[in-house]
Structure 1
Amino acid sequence: MRKHAAQERAKALTKAEVLVEALPWIHKHSGRTIVVKYGGAAMEDEELMRQVVGDLELLKLMGMRVVLVHGGGKAINSLLGDLRLPVAFKNGLRVTDDATMEVVQMALIGKVNQQLVWELNRYGNVAIGVSGADGKTFVARQADPELGRVGEVESVNTHLIEAILDDGYMPVVASVGSGEDGFYNINADVAASKVAQALGAHTIVYLTDVDGLYGDRSDENSLVATMTKAEAHELLDSGTLESGMIPKMRSIVEALDSGVSDVRILNGTFPHALLLEIFTNEDVGTMFVQGEE
């Protein structure tokens, strides 16, 4: 009995120590705006999704103004497959004809967005789902005729998102925009960066299914812990990035150039990576910062 009680006290002490370690980080981030982009395999596994959703709710409870921006590439591909429509990419961006655009709307707005809102609202009345077309949040134009209805964001109207935040809710934003001639598919990395820039956010977190940025993709020990804005510019201009990484790196550089303090790439399939990165001294991904600290 005594041994059991001692073990329980030791566990309780460990939990208390974790909270004490987190205290300065909670104080540091409370009141700040953080934009979280969510996508990749971490979104497809229901158990992982529930962990991520719980972490997001905890950030909100800790006083952070959290905006969740999501993609849903696998959901789009699945629905395209069901409808026997082709899947094509160019330079890391989905080629989106009119039929594919309808599928993007159905998958992102009708399914993924509402699933995330439902999961968040299991914790209470905490989340409101919108698309970038609502309130003209993302005003877009065609990025490249060869890509079809892939949009380049011309402007971001933050009124709707700020109203949701000010009312105490978490905006969950699907990466679809609108233009004079209809809807546009917006790359979710770009959408998150544009929202963060317009809101004057402190931090962007890209939750994906990779650990971060590697110096050498074939070497698991080459994970880059920290990269400055100047180094990120050099990497983007080097021509060595894989096509799928180009839009993400461009969005990171633009965010840093606009004054966002830091941008992080985390592996959302790693349990509670978001909490470990924000509230502890552990480096679990890659952080892009303005300059040498």
Structure 2
Amino acid sequence: MRSGLARARELALGKAEVLVEALPWISRHSGQTVVVKYGGSAMEDAGLMRQVVGDIALLVLMGIRVVLVHGGGKAINALLGELGREVAFKDGLRVTDDAAMEAVQMALVGKVNQRLVWELDHVGARAVGVSGADASTLVARQADPALGRVGAVERVDTSLLKSLLDDGYVPVVASVAAGDDGFYNVNADVAAGEVAQALGADTLVYLTDVDGFYRVRDDEDSLAVTMGHGEARRILESGTLDAGMIPKMRSIVDALDAGVGDVRILNGTFPHSILLDIFTDEGIGTMFVREGD
């Protein structure tokens, strides 16, 4: 009996210590704006999705203003496969003709976005689905004729996002943009970076399928815990990055140059990664910072 009581007290003490450790971080981040880019395997697995949206709901309860920007590559690929359409990429970006653009809108705005809104509402975080084309939130031009309807963001109108945040909602933004001649598919990493810059976000988080950024590919010991934006820029310009990492690293560098407080790459498949990184002393991913901060 005494052994059981001792174990219960030890468990309770451990929980109390976690709360004590988190308290200064909660105080520091309350009232801040955090943009979270969500995608990959963490979004495909229903259990992981529920865990992530639960963590976001907790951030909101702690007074953090959260904007969730999402992609949905696997959902787009699945729909294109059902339609008998080819899936093609160039330099890490999806080649998007007019038919593929329709599939992108159907998958991102009609399916993935609404699922995330429902999941967030289900755990008590009031969410509103937003296409980047709504209220000209994201306005883009054609990035490259060879890519078709892939957009390069020209401007971000934050009016709708700020209004939703001020009213206590979590804006859930699908990475579709408006253009003079119709809609454009915007890489979700790029969209999240542009939104973070326009909002003057304190933190930009990329929830991915990896533990962070590895200086040497496939070498777990080379995981960068902290990286200055000067080094990040040199890596981007070195030409050594995988194609899929190029848009993300470019967005990281641009965000830091524009004044975003810090940028983090976290493994969204690891339980509660965003809470562990923001509210504990050690952190668990890679944090990119401006030199001198």
Q: Does 1:246 align with 2:274?
A: no
Q: Does 1:70 align with 2:70?
A: yes
SS of 2:155's partner is: strand
Which deviates more from structure 2 when the two are superposed, residues 63-72 or residues 125-134?
A: 125-134
For residue 242 of structure 1, report the CA deviation from its aligned partner: 0.9
Distance 1:284 1:125, change over 3 A: closer
TM-score scaled by length of structure 2: 0.98
Partner of 2:143: 143
Q: Residues 32-59 of structure 1, C-alpha deviation per residue, up to 9 Å, x if partnerless? A: 0000000111100111111100110111
Distance 1:184 1:290 in 2: 31
For residue 64 of structure 1, report the CA deviation from its aligned partner: 0.5
Partner of 1:8: 8
Distance 1:118 1:283 in 2: 29
For residue 218 of structure 1, report the CA deviation from its aligned partner: 2.2
Name the aligned partner's letter for residue 279 of structure 1. F
How do 1:52-71 and structure 2 match up within 5 A? 52-71=52-71
How do 1:164-179 and structure 2 match up within 5 A? 164-179=164-179
Q: Residues 149-171 of structure 1, C-alpha deviation per residue, up to 9 Å, x if partnerless? A: 00010000000000000000110
Q: Does 1:285 align with 2:290?
A: no
SS of 2:191's partner is: helix
SS of 2:168's partner is: coil
For residue 125 of structure 1, report the CA deviation from its aligned partner: 5.6
**Contact 2:228–2:288 under 8 Å retained in 1:** yes
For residue 123 of structure 1, report the CA deviation from its aligned partner: 2.0
Partner of 1:222: 222
SS of 1:192's partner is: helix
Q: Residues 60-105 of structure 1, C-alpha deviation per residue, up to 9 Å, x if partnerless? A: 1111000000000011011111111000000000000000000000
Name the aligned partner's letter for residue 17 of structure 1. E
Partner of 2:120: 120
Structure 2 unaligned blocks of 5 or more: none
Distance 2:67 2:99 in 1: 29
How do 1:229-268 and structure 2 match up within 5 A? 229-268=229-268
Q: Residues 166-217 of structure 1, C-alpha deviation per residue, up to 9 Å, x if partnerless? A: 0001100000001111000000000001001100101100001111111111
Structure 1 unaligned blocks of 5 or more: none
Distance 2:155 2:292 in 1: 31
**Contact 2:57–2:124 under 8 Å retained in 1:** no
How do 1:13-52 and structure 2 match up within 5 A? 13-52=13-52
For residue 7 of structure 1, report the CA deviation from its aligned partner: 1.5
Name the aligned partner's letter for residue 202 of structure 2. H
Distance 2:268 2:292 in 1: 27
Identity of aligned residues (%): 71
Partner of 2:101: 101
Partner of 2:205: 205
For residue 124 of structure 1, report the CA deviation from its aligned partner: 2.7
Distance 1:272 1:127 in 2: 20
Which deviates more from structure 2 when the two are superposed, residues 118-127 or residues 182-191?
A: 118-127
How do 1:184-195 and structure 2 match up within 5 A? 184-195=184-195
Distance 1:201 1:272 in 2: 21
